[in-house]
Structure 1
Amino acid sequence: MENDKNNDLGTTPKKVLVLFAHPSLRRSEVNAPLFKVAQQAEGVTAVDLYAEYPTLHIDIDREQKRLLANDIVIFQFPLYWYSTPSILKEWQDLVLEYGFAYGSQGTALHGKTFMCAISAGGKEEFYKADGYNHFKIRELLHPLEQMSNLVGMRYMAPFSLFGSRTALEDGKVASHTEGYRQLLSALVSDTLDLDVVAKREKVTAANLSTMMKGATS
């Protein structure tokens, strides 16, 4: 949904683009409700890349126009083999062209904000140096962080749900979905403290409130 109304703080609302990638949405217990939240959020343009490009023939001009029209870009996806689903890699390879996103004349994305919203199958404690996966979740996303840096976007810590395989049974989906709604609202209203978020390892539904402007740690 689009929104051009001022928020309660009198600041100009930010425009958020959510690029969603899930190759098997009908089987999704976590990302499907999250994407529905994004579709319903004011000030947010939500795009299901697999639905829009079932043959992976990405419309480069359309995607670049979407980037230009928004202030904040979110990749929403399940973490598959420590990376994104394939369409997001294809999207980066095609859309982030030399002369548009990088190079001496490629400054179109400078000053924008980039963030990931991910679900990970493993438990939170698995994502550390001495854990099952050997790396922190932000470390596993370093290729996306460097992509963001190269094209001049400011990188934010990922909004993360762990243990997604059993999240529904464990009763985590509702609280995480509400956290995502609050995150998107805070991004649009510019009430999220990006200086704080940029320094964190991860953002979760549980710690989001500590990253709002004016919050005390």
Structure 2
Amino acid sequence: MAKVLVLFAHPGQRHSRVNILMAKIAGGIEGVTFVDLYADYPKLDIDIDVEQDRLLKHDVIIFQFPIYWYSTPSILKEWQDLVLEYGFAYGHTGDKLAGKVFLPVITAGGPDHAYTEEGRNHFRLRALLSPLEQTANLCRMRFIAPYALFSAHDARGDGRADPHLEGYGRLLQALRDETFDIDAAARMELLSAETLPLRESTPHE
């Protein structure tokens, strides 16, 4: 089984309608390590040794967050600046993350059509996440398409929340059980509950 690490970053949890429910799902799955970064570091005083040790102990790294100003909440940028050190995550001897899987899990307030070249945000969601994708590339990690929910504020009312939550649980379990097709997911634009590329069993069985 693969070891999955979920780094959850949501500075406005009391206003969250779906992301906080996703956090509860992640925290309740055996074999998944769930970390609430804002709870652990309310002053953003990130412990580099602790975080690097977490990375070393896991095979799949997930950033779970709401889109804030077309990017991550600030603690994830601080985390990257401090934790992904030269000689650890990148550079000639920085190979500690090589081969690990990286996945963004995202909720967005805007509708999906807003995240197009023709929409009001002018960029596709995956394009907006290019800094994360290139960070993963530099660290020799395998970046896979974001698992995303649009119009998150309306999702519980229009019936999309429950399928998305159920899909998130299946996604985490498949990553843990190595029944998730990473190569297929890397080629996709986005992941959703309906498009998860799952396999019947691991290649070793």
TM-score range, shorter chain: over 0.9
Q: Which residue number in structure 1 is paired with residue 67 of structure 2?
A: 79
* Identity across matched positions, percent: 56
- The residue type paired with residue 38 of structure 2 is Y
Aligned equivalent of 2:162, options 174, 181, 199: 174
Report which stretch shifted further, 168-177 or 188-197.
168-177
Distance 2:180 2:32 in 1: 15
Q: Which residue number in structure 2 is paired with residue 185 of structure 1?
A: 173
Distance 1:206 1:132 in 2: 26
Q: Which residue number in structure 2 is paired with residue 8 of structure 1?
A: none
Deviations 1:74-110 (A, max 9, x none): 0000001110000000000000001110111111000
Q: Which residue number in structure 1 is paired with residue 194 of structure 2?
A: 206
What is the CA RMSD across the aligned residues, in angstroms?
Answer: 1.1
Distance 2:169 2:187 in 1: 22
Tell me the TM-score normalised to structure 2 length: 0.96
Structure 1 moving runs of 4+ over 2 Å: none
Q: Which residue number in structure 1 is paired with residue 21 of structure 2?
A: 33
Tell me the TM-score normalised to structure 1 length: 0.90
| 2:134 is the counterpart of 1:146 | yes
Distance 1:168 1:68 in 2: 36
Superposition deviation, residue 171 in structure 1: 2.0
Structure 1 unaligned spans of 5+: 1-12
Q: Which residue number in structure 1 is paired with residue 36 of structure 2?
A: 48
Q: Which residue number in structure 1 is paired with residue 203 of structure 2?
A: none
Superposition deviation, residue 213 in structure 1: 2.3
Q: Report the secondary structure of 2:135's partner residue.
A: helix
Distance 2:116 2:187 in 1: 17
Structure 2 unaligned spans of 5+: 201-205
Aligned equivalent of 1:58, options 42, 46, 50: 46
- The residue type paired with residue 120 of structure 1 is A
